[in-house]
Amino acid sequence: MPDRIAITVNGQAREVAPGATVAALLSAIGLDVRKVAVERNEEIVPRSTYAEVALAPGDRLEIVHFIGGG
């Protein structure tokens, strides 16, 4: 088992511990889970499942929020 696994978050390479969940990733980044949404490999990750969804090598995540727009 490797020490770290490689994933991509918002287009940036990142490493997380094997078995790390989406909740752990958001916490490590320092984001308020109530204000963001997460997509993993182009599938929505429901907020209620953040603590259960484990990240896998090569996962591509998008973490978004609302900003000003017209």
Interface positions with other proteins (CB under 8 A)? 9-12, 29-31, 35-39, 42, 44-47, 62-70
* Nearest distance from C-beta of residue 36 to other proteins, angstroms: 6
Q: Which is nearer to other proteins, 16 or 38 (CB)?
A: 38
* Nearest distance from C-beta of residue 63 to other proteins, angstroms: 5
Q: How many CA atoms lie within 13 A of 35 on its CB side?
A: 7
Q: Both tokens of residue 51?
A: 């603590």
**Secondary structure letter of residue 18 according to DSSP:** T
Whether the CA torsion 29, 62, 4, 33 is positive or negative: it is: positive
* Nearest distance from C-beta of residue 46 to other proteins, angstroms: 7
